[in-house]
A and B are shown apart, each in its own frame.
Chain A
Amino acid sequence: MTHSTWQRPDPASTVPGPSLPDLMHDLAATPPDVWDPDIDTLALWADTVSDVAHGEFDVEAVLELATGPRSAGLGVIAALLHGPALRPWTGWWEAARLTSVAQRMVGTLAAHVPPSAWVADARSREEAARLFLDLLGLRPAGESATVAADRLTAMSSPALAAALAELAQEQRRAAELAARLAEKRAREAAARTTYV
């Protein structure tokens, strides 16, 4: 997997966020409770969404992320959302956006870089922090959108690159699907013999 596979479709779609060191500091300071296998991660996530976001919380969409070995990842990002670095954005998020971010971080990134590394390993911490901000539609304070996208791409480890490639593939597919469905040859449709 090469780093060049990750291309944010629209670099200008991020807005300035917290400083990267502040967010990485919050990651390093993740409360040890999140690693407790008995913690109710779903409840923790529900409380987090209630505290920092607005809109409806889709339990089923997160249910699978809240069980199994990767569920700690949900705890880590819940802690991040509560942390000092992101506090100014409390109430700014839509619940659906946070669900999508959780799916990407826990469902995609954690498959390649375990959540423990997001906290313990300096390089992985920066990768996780940069990706997390990017998924939230933010970029590190002081960086332009293009610079932030470039740095995310440039520093990616093979594992993160694989995760980013998967994200890029999904974004390309979504764009291609929308374009195909908008084409006249698709809209001409096919004759139907049933009404359902």
Chain B
Amino acid sequence: MSEAPHHDHDPVLGEYEPFADTALTDAERWPTLTGAGAGRLSALRGHPRAPAWVHECGDRLDAGDLVALADLHTRIHHAEPPEAGSATPSWAADLLQRAATAVPHYRRAWRQGPPPFPDVPTITRADLAADLASFVPVDVPLDDVLVGTSSGSTGAALVLPQHARTIGSDLVQLRRLVALTGTHWAPEPERLAVLSVVSQETAFTYASLLSAFDLAGLARINLHPSAWRRPGDREAFLTAMNPQVLTSTPSALVDLADLDVTLHPLAVISGATSLSRAARDLLRARWAAPVIDVYGLIETGPVAASVDGGPHRLLPRRQHVEVLDAKGRPVGVGQTGEVVVTSAENPYLPLLRYRTGDHARLTADGALADLEGRVPVRFATPDGTWVDAVGLTQVLQAHGTLAWHLHQDPGGDLTLRAVGGTEEPLLRSIERLLGRRPRSIRLPRPADLGPGKARRFSSALPGATP
């Protein structure tokens, strides 16, 4: 590595120093590690063109976890997706009962038993931030707690307790999603199973193994040049790894697509922020592979996914998803509302009616359409009329914009920071919609929009976020 990485705004890094948070042996990181797996790990760590790894990270899955995940794989691999807005599932009643006896926040209120599900008050990220321990069951041993960090779009990062099996189940879900695209994904000893990519000045990077996938390789790398020891290592490493599945954020995937290196992924997984149609098309064209857009939050884990660019369909998990209006009532089919998740997936943090802050339109078959991971923002025209950001999204996508941030200041002036697309026709379209021409700032890469969960729209005008 040419220079030591330094702190950036990634909340997961915290008071970050390379290897500062490593505490385990490899046998603890991969409790079922075999000789072959150890050899694979050693080769990955010591690859002559590898980046300067700055962290160690296993999946912490023991034999019992692997049995449970194999069983999960069998149960869900061909499962139909649950439907958002459907009747409350039977397991939710058990979850409420358990909350009434073991989760402090609820047992204080539900001495006489839990209310009917529709009467359960919703909670938000602010509730977790204010008193996390009140939402953690008092009867679950905390010996195996792992840290999950949620950055959110505003406010301080939230540190949450997580369990290895819950995190490990993400891979089971990904395998199902890849299969839904008609792609066969099985471990190949000569290929990296999963390449996790970030593209920022400083980040955790590590070589790892997937215990639940024949101890196949996983690497988290940083595309930033400072993360590599010599020029050319990045491209050489990527070529040598020949990853089966790429997983990242839209902006880092676009950066990866821009590199002069030939990859042959079976599938591309995008998450964390909304994947624009233009970015999806670009990634598909670049690698001739299906692009899967996963929606979720650290608090809930993955919730839904789109494998074809259409609405996001729920994942077969112990999660119940509602779409609620501003008054907390379920919206009808075709209506837009806030995505609210009840989840029994994380034993340390069962969630009852958790308001995600994200909005979607409920489709007739229980999928989430027009999913926008953001607080809804509207923009004011000079005559005081409000225009919803959804219309702007359509215009921006129609002009091929890869990523953007449109802001309205207190005086009503607009600033558009955008990547890709056709500039002048887009500015004219926005002017037609909003009656004002934005000041335009062109950016070379989506990552230039800034770190963290990208915000597409913002406004300093009162009433802009109803």
Contacts and interface: CB of A to CB of B under 8 A. Distances in A.
Given A184-B22, A187-B147, A188-B56, A193 B247 contact: yes
B218 A177 contact: no
Contact of A184 (B23, B131, B220, B303): B23
Interface in A71-122: 96, 100, 103-104, 106-108, 111
Nearest to B219: A191
Nearest to A96: B130
B146 interface: yes
16 contacts: A60-B123, A63-B121, A173-B138, A177-B145, A184-B22, A185-B23, A186-B146, A187-B21, A188-B24, A189-B57, A189-B148, A193-B269, A194-B170, A194-B294, A195-B271, A196-B300
Contact of A107 (B109, B170, B194): B109
Interface of B: 14, 21-24, 28-29, 55-60, 104, 107-112, 115, 121-123, 127, 130-134, 136, 138, 142-143, 145-148, 159, 161-162, 164, 167-168, 170-171, 173-174, 194, 196, 206, 208, 210, 218, 220, 247-249, 269-272, 294-298, 300-303
Nearest to A103: B108
A194 B293 CA distance: 10
Nearest to A194: B170
A176 interface: yes
B112 A68 contact: yes
B104 A193 contact: no
Contacts of A104: 108
Contacts of B248: 195
B104 A170 contact: yes
B249 A177 contact: no
Query: Which label, helix, strand, loop or mixed, suits the secondary structure of the A interface?
Result: helix
A180 B249 CA distance: 29
B133 to A, nearest CB: 4
Given A68-B112, A188-B22, A174 B133 contact: yes
A147 interface: no
The 8 closest A-B pairs by CB, nearest first: A107-B108, A196-B296, A184-B23, A174-B133, A195-B271, A64-B109, A195-B272, A191-B208
A60 B147 contact: no
Contact of A191 (B22, B123, B220): B220
Most buried by A among B112, B123, B134, B145: B145
A170 B218 contact: no
Contacts of B146: 186, 188-190
Contacts of A192: 167, 170, 196
A181 B348 CA distance: 12
A102 to B, nearest CB: 10
A65 interface: yes
Contact of A64 (B121, B133, B171, B298): B121
B208 A196 contact: no
A177 B294 contact: no
Nearest to A183: B23
Contacts of A106: 108
Given A60-B121, A185-B23, A169 B147 contact: no
Contact of B111 (A111, A174, A180, A189): A111
B294 A195 contact: yes
Given A108-B108, A194-B247, A194-B269, A181 B147 contact: yes
A179 to B, nearest CB: 9
Contacts of B127: 61
Nearest to A174: B133
A184 B111 CA distance: 37
Nearest to B294: A194
B142 A194 contact: no
Contacts of B14: 187
A184 B298 CA distance: 20
Contacts of A64: 109-110, 115, 121
B247 A181 contact: no
Contacts of A196: 271-272, 294-298, 300-303
A173 B247 CA distance: 36
B167 A190 contact: yes
Nearest to B108: A107
Contacts of A195: 196, 247-249, 269-272, 294
A170 B134 contact: yes
A44 B108 CA distance: 20
Contacts of B247: 193-195
A192 B247 CA distance: 10
Contacts of A170: 104, 133-134, 138
Most buried by B among A108, A111, A195: A195
